[in-house]
Amino acid sequence: MSKVLMEQNISLDIRALLTHLDKSGLLRKVPGQLALDYEAAWHIQQAQPYPVALDTPNGKVVANLLAKRENLSLVLGGGSDAEIYTRVARAMENPTPIRILEKPSLKETSVDLYKLPILKFFEKDAGRYITSGIFIAKDPETGAVNASIHRALVLDEENLAVRLVPRHLYQIHRKAEARGQNLPAAILIGAPPIMYLAAAMSPPFGVYEAEVANTLVNGALRGTDSFLEGVALPIPTEIIITGEFVAGKRVDEGPFVDILGTYDIVRKEPVFHVESISVRQDYLYYTILPSGYEHLLLMGFPREVAIYTVASKTAPGIKKVRLTPGGGGWLHAVISMEKTIEGDPKNVIMAAFAAHPSLKSVVVVDTDIDPDNPQDVEWALATRMQPDEDVIIIRGARGSSLDPSADQETLQTSKIGIDATRPLHKNPELFRKAKIPHPE
């Protein structure tokens, strides 16, 4: 098999990715049968950032598959950060329709959510949560299809409470409710890995994320329209749940741990009624640990693409964008660039805030600083930044609801940007770290 075909297979089937990670010696396997409440989650957390496979009374569970940036890059076909950002941005502008397969290899099983290995993660969670569900639905007015990842609380055998943030699926759901209609939808668990990256993105409304994923794999993605009328659902997928959002029905959803590792508030959220559950033979249940490395990377990476796209138009030489783990993959960014003109880093800082309004702090560093290494970044702050010249403070800006220090009603916050790049008028040797030569 050619390298390109191998990479596409890894991108197109969660089992192929798991096999590759296992053969590479990266997959952790937990012996014994683990309880669905807490025990399985504890082992997933301990295994980070390595992928993990474990067994439960209800079946096999896998997690942390995209918890390392190297795995994400593998699914995207590799390349430099800048190349990957550019490829993803272009894919969102050039979606590719999915070829339909007539007979997907899934078998319908009993409609009972309690029979799936759905986990309870943290001590104050409201219950067991589906965290890797890609919800796919069609706009009742325009026919536009949307795919996005949402957490779903198990209420009973046939019903879920689904957290809908005010984005595309939220808008589609509201349109259906305004018509007094239930909204049909499908939930994909264990979809092709490339689909998880696409579903975490935010292309313009009307662009189907699965078609963005298809562009990223050069048209190799396949789908089925057997589960949701007129919609190509990406396959192979381990589990497909179909049903509908019940118009006008709301229940309490939460508490639940979000990306910062703190509990989100309890809200009234829509109810999804399950009508069918179909599974692959010997299916694997894929889960995402809330506030874990995988959660942070899946949420943060699309915003890195957005920041890169805007910032690279503001100043040349952007190399890497990192939404840092310490900032929940959401609130803090480090950007590396080749600075050629003083002032460009400040323009990049402003561009980053514009591209990702939830950002609270941005640090810009030179390319000799590793943005993935907090000690390296701190060293740049210590040696290349003057507070009275290189710090930008913005007051009264809109921030993130995830930031507990912000005004939770208005979302107003203050923001900080720091230019930690080397002053161009000074001798570069003053800022260069000493190296020990490698022994011959």
Burial code of 133-165, b = ≥16 C-beta within 10 A, e = fewer? bbbbbbbbeeebbbbbbbbbbbbeebbbbbbbe
Nearest to 270 by CA among 172, 198, 201: 172
SS3 297: helix
- Cα 246 from Cα 312, distance rounded (Å): 44
Q: For the chain, what's the residue count? A: 440
Question: In 10 A of CB 179, how many CB atoms?
Answer: 12
258 among known catalytic residues: yes
> Contact, 236 vs 11, CB < 8 A?
no
Looking at 13, 258, 366, 419, which residue is catalytic?
258
Neighbours of 38 (CB within 10 A): 15
- Local structure of 137: helix, strand or coil: strand
**What residue type is assigned to position 256 of the chain?**
F
Helix (H, G, I), strand (E, B), or coil: what is residue 5?
helix
Catalytic residues: 258
